[in-house]
Structure 1
C-alpha cells in the first residue's frame, strides 16, 4: 500500500460505526515449532538479516475453563527469520509454570489478572477454604514483551518472574526471579538501555507498611554463562502518595541523565488485592481510575540515584507507553502516549472483544483515545525561581510549566499532533529509531492508529510540522511497528518498518509487512500460512 493523505481518504467510515468483528484475533492457535517458509511478494531488502521476535497471548482456554481477559492468555513467542530476502516462521508457547500446570490438569490452575484459577475438584472443601488464605505465587506467564538483559533474551509480564529463552529455537530456558536479586514484587515489562548495555527498570515492593516504587539498574557485563540478573541493584526508592494505593505503571521514561517515573491516577488498592485472594475475585478488581488526582512526574538522577525534590504535576492522565525523553537547553522533554481516562483495562475483556455489530461499536466508543503529547520540565528550579510564570522559554513549544509553590511545578502539555490524527483513532504502540535517538532530540516516531479496538493502521509522525504518513488497508490489523536502520544510515528515518499484519476475515491471512521508513511505501510482504492472535510487543534480533 502507498501512503495516503488523510484529506484524500473521503470514503472512510465514521469512527466507531459498523466495526468489523475481531473475534478471530483473540482465539487459541497452535504453535509452529518447525520453521515453515513464507511466500514473498515484492522485495525485502537483502541487507535485512535477522529475526523479528514477537510475543503475546495465544491460548485462552484449558479444557472447559476459559480466560476472561485478553491479558490472561498463555504466552506464544513468534519468530520471523529474514535472510537474503526470504522469510521463515516458527512459534513456541512459553513453557512457564502456569502453562505446564494448566496443561497437566487441562484446566486453569494459575490465576491471571482477569481470571481466578479454578478450584481443583480433587481438593476437599476444607482444603479449598484454607487455600484462600495462602500467599498465592504470581503468574510467570510472560506474555507482554521480549527484552534483553546482559545480552540474553527474556519473556516477561509485570510480575517478578521472567523466563530466559533461546532466540534461535525459541525454547524456554530457566525461570528467573527478580526478588532473588532485588527486593521487588513486580517489575515493568519495558526496560530502557544505555549505549553501553546498562539497563534500567522499575519494580514495586509491597509489605506491611505499604508499597514503594523502585528504580533498578542492571549492569551490562556477565560474569559467566549462568549469570542472569546478578549485580542488579535498586538505584533509589520513591514513596507513593498513598502507600496502600500505589499507581499502576506499564513503562517509564528515560533521558541521558534522568529516569522519569509517571505516577498516574490509575491506582492499585492493596487491601482489595488481599480481598480478591480471599473472595476468589480477579486482581483487576483492585485496579481503579481516580480522575480527582493529578499525575506526578518524578525525576531520578541515573548516576547518583538522587530523587529530585521538585515534583512536576499535570492533569490526570493514563499512560502505557512513552515515546522518548531528552534534555536540551536546561529542559527535559518527556513525550508520552496519553489517555484522558484510565479505564482501558476494563475494555479488553474477551467478552467485549468477541462482540459484533452495534455492541462492538459501543465498546469502542466507550474508550478514550491515546494521543502523543510532550511535557516540558525545567531542570533548574530553585527557591529563587519565580512563581506563577511560564518557565518554558523554548519559542517553538506551546507547553507550559509554572512553579506554583516551593518544589512544585504544574505542567500543561503540548500536542505532538494535528487535528487529523483523530481520524485515525489516535496513536499507540510508539516506536523510534531507538539505538541512535533514544534519550536524544529526534524528529520521527511510528505507531498504530486505533480506529478499532486493535491497531488498524500504521502511522509515521513528523515532529517538525506535526504531520504524518499512513499505511492502511481495509480489513487488516498491523501490530506494533519496529524500526530497523539501514546499514551505514546517515538519516534518522533511513531504514525499514516491520509489522506483523493480521486479517480476521481471512483464514491464515498473516504476513510480515516491510515498509520504507522514509516514504512509508510498501517494499514487500511475506505471507505466512498460519492463524495468529493479535499480540503485544517484540524486537528485531539482528544476525551476527
Structure 2
C-alpha cells in the first residue's frame, strides 16, 4: 500500500488544548451537576470489572439464544481530571449472554497500551479526540488507541474497534484483552473504522481515514479475516468520516463540510472548523469492482455520523442516513450542567437519499424526526430493505428514549417510548433462524433506567414494537453506556 507512512503521520495529528486546571474544573462542575440531575449518570465515570445475572421480567423468547456484544467509553476521569468529550473515554467491552430464559452480563475495560500506562501513572498521559494531554509522546495511532466504539465478532474472535487505529482482539468468552490485531504487516497501525459492513458471503468491507491527509483507505476482508483487497484513494478536503454504507455495487461515504485547522491549543475535535456556508456535503461513490471513485454528488451542508443501508435501484443507489443540521461535531461534548443538549442543539432527521448517476443529482426524502443509531436486519445489508430501526427523542429535552421501526416505503412508524428517566442505547434487529421477512425476529437493545441506576436489556417482537418489551432483563447495577455492538446467534 502506497503512502502508508504519510497517512500515519497525518493520522497522528490531533493537536492540543487544555490545562490541568481546566480539567479539574471540568471534573468539579460535572459532579456538582450530577448531584442535581440523575440523567447525567449515563456520562459518569466507571471503574472496575462487572459481572452479574439479570432479573428477567416478562417472557424471554425460547429461540433467542446468543451473545450481544457491546462497547463504549467507560473511563472519563483519572487523578481528579475529567475528559471533555464523550468519544474520549477508555473502551469498556460488554457481553450479554442470552438463552434458556436467562440473561447474564460481564463487562471489562479493554487493556490497551494507553489504558494500562495511564492506570499505572494515575493520570491521563495522552491526547484524545476532544481533550489534549501532552504528558507523554506517542509512537503511532495505537499508542492512543481507546478501543471504545464497537465490538465485532468475526471468525470465532471478537474485536474492539476504534476508528483512529487498529482493532484490538479480545477473548470472546471472558473479554480479556489479547492485543492489537494487525491484519497484514503493511497495514500495521493503520486506521480501521469502527463501522465495518458485512457482505452476504460472510466477509466484510471497512475503511480508514486520516484527517488532514486527504486519503481514504479501503479494506476487503474474507469471512476468515484475511485481507483480500486494499486501496488508497485521494479525496480532497477529506475530514472525519465515521461510517459508510455498502450497496450491491458501491461503497458510499458522506463527507461533511469541515476544514481542519490543526494548531497548538486545539484538540482534534476543536481542529475541525465548520464551513457549511462555503461548501456542500459530498457523497463519494466508490465502485466495488474497481475500488476507484465512480462519481461525487453534492448535497446541502449538514453533518453526519451514522448511516443505515444502501441498495441499487435501477440506475440509482438509495441510502438511509441520519443528518444533523449544521455543525454536529460539538454536540457530543460531555455535558457539564443540567442542560441535556446532546440532540437539541443540532436537530437531526432520518433521510433517504437517492443518487441518480445519469443526472448527477441527489434527491432527499425525509423519513423520521430527531433520531440516531440507524440499523437494518443483517440479512438485507447491501440489498433492498424496507425496515429501518432508529432511536428517537421525545420530551422537552429531546433525549434518545424511544425505539422506532420505520417502513421506508410507507413512512409508517412502529415505535415505543420508554418514558421519563430512561435513556435508550442502540438497538439491533435479530432475525429468527430462517427468517422470511425483516420483522421475523426480535429487536434487542439496552436502556438505562437512570432513576434506579440500572442497565436493562430489552427484547421486543419486531412485528409489534409499540406493544412494548416482551422481556426486560435488569442488572443489579449500572453499566457504562455503549456506542455500538453486534448480536452473535448461538
Indicate the TM-score class for this superposition, using the shorter chain for normalisation: 0.7 to 0.9
- Secondary structure at the aligned position of 2:129 is classed as coil
Q: TM-score normalised to the size of structure 2?
A: 0.85
Question: Which residues in structure 2 correspond to 1:334-373 (within 5 Å)?
Answer: 334-342=319-327, 344-350=328-334, 353-356=335-338, 360=339, 363=341, 367-373=345-351
State the distance in 1 between where 2:196 and 2:140 align. 28
* Pair 1:326 & 2:311 matched: yes
Q: Verify the 8 A CA contact 1:56 1:537 in the aligned structure 2.
A: yes
Contact 1:184 1:204 in 2 (8 A): no
Q: Which protein is richer in strand relative to its size?
A: 2
Q: CA deviation at 1:74?
A: 1.3
Q: What residue number does 2:29 align with?
A: none
User: Which has the larger Rg?
Assistant: 1
CA distance in 1, matches of 2:85, 2:347: 20
Distance in 2, Cα, partners of 1:496 & 1:109: 43
Taking the aligned partners of 1:107 and 1:154, their CA distance within structure 2 comes to 26
Query: Please, which of 467, 484, 490 is the counterpart of residue 537 of structure 1?
Result: 484
Change (3 A) 1:260 1:183: farther
Determine whether 1:264 maps to 2:230: no
Unaligned segments of structure 2, at least 5 residues = 1-35
Q: Structure 1 length normalisation: TM-score?
A: 0.77
Alignment partner of 1:234 is 2:230 = yes
Displacement of 1:168: 1.0
Q: 1:178 to 1:110 in 2, by over 3 A?
A: farther
Q: Alpha-carbon deviation of 1:56?
A: 0.7
The SS at the match of 1:175 is: strand
More deviation, 439-448/296-305: 296-305
**Structure-1 residue corresponding to 2:68:** 52
Match of residue 352, structure 2, among 371, 374, 379: 374
Q: 2:409 aligns with which of 464, 472, 492?
A: 464
Say which is worse superposed, 175-184 or 108-117, in terms of deviation: 175-184
Identify which of 121, 132, 135 aligns with 1:119.
135
Q: Aligned to 2:380, which of 437, 451, 463?
A: 437
The answer to whether the 8 A contact 1:21-1:354 is kept is no
Q: Distance in 2 between matches of 1:340 and 1:27?
A: 28
- Asked whether the equivalents of residues 138 and 159 of structure 1 are also in contact (C-alpha less than 8 Å), the reply is no
2:198 aligned with 1:193 = yes
Give 1:455 shift: 1.7
Checking the alignment, whether the CA contact within 8 Å between 2:39 and 2:421 is kept in structure 1 is no
Alignment coverage as a number of residue pairs: 449
Name the CA shift for 1:198/1:489 in 2 (closer, same or farther; >3 Å): closer
| SS class of match (2:41) | helix
Aligned to 1:307: 293
Q: 1:411 to 1:464 in 2, by over 3 A?
A: closer
What corresponds to 1:392 in structure 2?
none
Residue number among 420, 424, 431 corresponding to 1:478 in the alignment: 424
Does residue 283 (structure 1) correspond to residue 268 (structure 2)? The answer is: yes
Structure 1: distance between partners of 2:483 and 2:141: 26
CA contact (8 A) 2:166 2:188 kept: no
RMSD: 2.4
Shift in Å, 1:453 = 6.3
Q: How many Å separate the matches in 1 of 2:270 and 2:211?
A: 18
Is 1:175 the equivalent of 2:171? no
